[in-house]
Structure 1
Amino acid sequence: MLLGYLLCPGKTFAQHYLDIQARADTDKIRIGEHVKLELSARVQLEGLKGASFKVFFPSLPDSFSHFEVVNRSELDTATAPGEKFFKQTVTVTSFDSGRWEIPALKFEVFSVTDGSYDSVFTQPVFIDVNTVAVDTTKAFKPIKAVKGVAWNLLDYWLYLVIGAVAVLLIIGLIWYFRKKPVKAPVVTGPVESPYDMAMRQLQELKGEKLWEQGDIKQYYTRLTDILRNYFEHQFGIAALEQTSAELLQNIKPVTILNQQRDKLQTILIIADLAKFAKMQPTPQEHEDCLTKATEIVTWTKPAVVREAQPGEAPKQQP
């Protein structure tokens, strides 16, 4: 295999066609200073005779052998006649004093042409990490007092501008709300009572002739929704959220409504069969359900308070 032959130890071809280096910009630093470690690989293309290859640079961990990686540059490539260059700069530092070694780094080379694979190692790099020199022969100097800085209005101009804008904004809002005309209350007409609404909707349902047109499910859905809305607004029963069985159970405390329990049960049974079981009630049953719904609403119509005459207490008529 061509690449294996070129990189094989003891062969001069490896030294001639592939040159790798790990070079530091300095060999002495003080604690915390940076070292730029330049990793490079140079490949002589002429000797490879058209072989396709890939070079993989060393993968340094974030912390290793008393060193910490500060930054990694992108891999830079360049091509010259007969040569190809690869370069990456890794910035490292150390916070331990002493002479430390950046160990030999492994470059990996893979031949796409014949699938051969090999690795080459650099020489280790030694870095001396020194502490800051302190002259112990000199006497300690006293701590200097804190010096005051003269107050300057220009140093606070931004805060003054913000404060002035805030004050002007508050004054403007106060003036606006004081001058804002008070809108006269909107007088609306009388609100339709639950009874009147239910009776109107039942008459509208009768006029729509839904069951005559074959829309049985929509007819019973509208009919039961009218009753449930009426119960909810007139008696405070959450009828829209209850099943038929729950609704029949919850009308028991309302005496006047419970008196119409049998009619309501008949309507709910036929409606559920028509909506969910696809039963086809007879025309007589359609009309009978609408009649029973009208009778339920009429029976439970709230009493009217007759207007009291002067000196007379209000009386409630049935």
Structure 2
Amino acid sequence: MINRHRNHWLPLLTLLLLGWSASAWAQPSILVVLEQETALFGEAVPLQIVAVAEAGTTIDAFDYRALENQDNMEVLDAKRLDKAGEGAHSVSTLDLKLIFWEEGRYTIPPVTLTYTTNGQQEQIQSDNASILIRTMDVASDTTRLMPIKDIIEEPMTLRDYAPYLVGIAALLIIGLLIYFFRQNRKAASAPPKPPRRTTLRALMMERLNALEAEKRWQQGDIKGYHSELTYQARFYLERRYGIRALESTTDTIVQHLEGHALSAEQVQTLRRLLQTADLVKFAKAEPEVAFHEEAMQRLRQFIRDTDNPRLMAAIYESGTIETYEKAEDDKEAS
């Protein structure tokens, strides 16, 4: 162990001697330089590991894991510096900063150096180092300690209660404001509007007319047009026949419709409409221009042919739609 504070020339002389030794024995020399012999706990202590290797010998790595595994000692920082020395020697330096968390004398374990010479990898270890860790010196104090006296309690006054009274009054005012605001809001809120009622067929025709007025396919949005058209077809089938048409494939829909009174021509029309739309949506197919309008007209005709005049639709202001069957004596508009 070398004390840098006392002898600045000693590490340099030692390095030269180690360099000569490395040349003689063809293995690196390793030196431990501890800057101080004592330190305070919690203080960062510099530690330097210096390795000198001759030409043809390579310093591979410094292994300081033994330092990290010590109790009450921690490695704060580790930096390696490589440089060329005199006479084709190389010098590798590992600068560490250690910190100790309890007082006492510590033995710093050796650092393992891995190097390669003549194509063969070897290892050597540094020497141990020792350091004394102490607590901070406390100067002697001859001042006599006085006994601890009881706390003198001051009587409470109205001023002491004022913050609490103000806080309670503020909470009461806020509560009253919230109460009156909610009461006025309830009084001012209008009752919900009754739903608009129409037949399922009339509702579907409204929707198809609105889609046709948008002129999507004429503006190049063929995919959007057929996606909305098939959605309306599936919506009608789900409300008309009670099947899960919105979540089913074309083949599943056709299979569910087999138990209903549909002609082969109607099923074929529906299948072609849904399958062509699937090709447009997923395969990016482009049907003939005439098919766009033809698909709209075929869906309208399918709705007319399969209409149940007793099926009604209640359209709420929120957009929710409920379908139900009109009773025999129900006078609602159809």
TM-score (norm 2): 0.48
TM-score (ref. length: structure 1): 0.50
